[in-house]
Amino acid sequence: MTDDPLAWLTSLEGVPSAYVAARDGIDVMLRDRGLRRTSPETTAESLLRGAHASAVLEGSGSSLAEVRAGEGDAVAADAVRVSSELLALVPALGRTPLQALARVHALASAGSLPEDERGRPRDAAAAERLRALATLLTAETAAPALVVAAVVHADLATSAPFASHNGVVARAAERLVLVARGVDEKSLVVPEAGHLALREAYESNLRGYRDGGEAGVHSWLLYAAEAYAAGAEASPLRREAT
């Protein structure tokens, strides 16, 4: 018996090796592209690219160029609003994760929901699901940080605990976990872009996570490792700003 809530995930076939490979790829990218020489502008570009990708996954039709120019649609504006404050929430994610997640939703929904609905679960069942997720985020686990990030993302996206913007919140929380747990302290990987590049698989595997039991969770984890590799490739360290 173990008190580690995620221990069983690391015993699923192919998961340990997939996540070792994903983490190694991220580490190599950060090291080889000169992490010490990166600037706040590089982080800002990563966050902007992530906001754009997350917005497109949420239904935005805006291009990256439009988002960069401040001319994106309402969904893009919501995602950019989240990205502008996201890294300030890193300390809260470890100490008071419910507050961190509530703040992310409040930022995302500021342009569309009444104030009394922002940052609040939509019902009692949603509140309980959020409390369970907060417990998971503060529990000790030997699972890789990338696995934790993948589970947090899928749980938020599929349980939809808020009245709106659950996908934006889920992807923002995933990035927060990667920063808070030391995978990508300067937030230079763009996991949202990885999911957008693999959109069909992303959406299919989220449905599997929600409806497919252990097999669905297993498939989501294997998919997410691939998406993290794609997110590393989308880093502004690898590509010139467009």
pLDDT of 239 higher than 80: no
Residues 209, 20 contacting (CB under 8 angstroms): no
- Measure CA 190 to chain center: 9
Distance CA 9, CA 4 (A): 10
Residues 220, 19 contacting (CB under 8 angstroms): no
Distance CA 80, CA 226 (A): 25
Using pLDDT thresholds of 50, 70 and 90, give the confidence band for residue 38. Answer: confident
CB-based contacts of 205, cutoff 8 Å, min separation 6 = 216, 219, 220, 223, 224
Alpha helices (H) in the chain, listed in sequence order: 15-32, 40-57, 64-68, 74-85, 90-95, 97-108, 124-138, 145-159, 166-180, 191-197, 199-211, 213-233
**Domain presence at residue 241:** no
**Domain presence at residue 143:** yes
pLDDT of residue 90: 97
**Domain presence at residue 181:** yes
pLDDT of residue 240: 42
CB-based contacts of 239, cutoff 8 Å, min separation 6 = none
**Domain presence at residue 1:** no
Count up the domains in the chain and report the number. Answer: 1
Give the mean pLDDT of 50-65.
98
pLDDT of 82 higher than 80: yes
The CA dihedral of 113, 56, 218, 226, to the nearest 10 degrees, is: -140
Tell me the two tokens of residue 28: 């190599």
The DSSP code sequence of 170-202 is HHHHHHHHHHHTTSSTT----HHHHHHHTHHHH
Higher local confidence (pLDDT), 219 or 34: 219
Question: Could you say which DSSP state residue 37 is in?
Answer: G
**Domain presence at residue 239:** no
pLDDT of 33 higher than 90: no
pTM for the complete prediction? 0.95
Distance CA 138, CA 33 (A): 32
**Domain presence at residue 176:** yes
Higher local confidence (pLDDT), 69 or 35: 69
Question: Could you say which DSSP state residue 205 is in?
Answer: H
Quick one: what percent of the chain has pLDDT higher than 90?
A: 92
Nearest to 194 by CA among 161, 157, 150: 150
Distance CA 233, CA 239 (A): 8
Distance CA 192, CA 199 (A): 10
Give the mean pLDDT of 27-34.
80
**Domain presence at residue 163:** yes
Range of the domain at 153: 7-30+39-233
The CB-based long-range contact list for 207-213 (8 Å cut-off, 24+ gap) reads: 209/154, 209/158, 210/158
CATH number of the domain bearing residue 80: 1.10.3290.10
pLDDT of 181 higher than 70: yes
pLDDT of residue 238: 80
Give the mean pLDDT of 136-149.
96
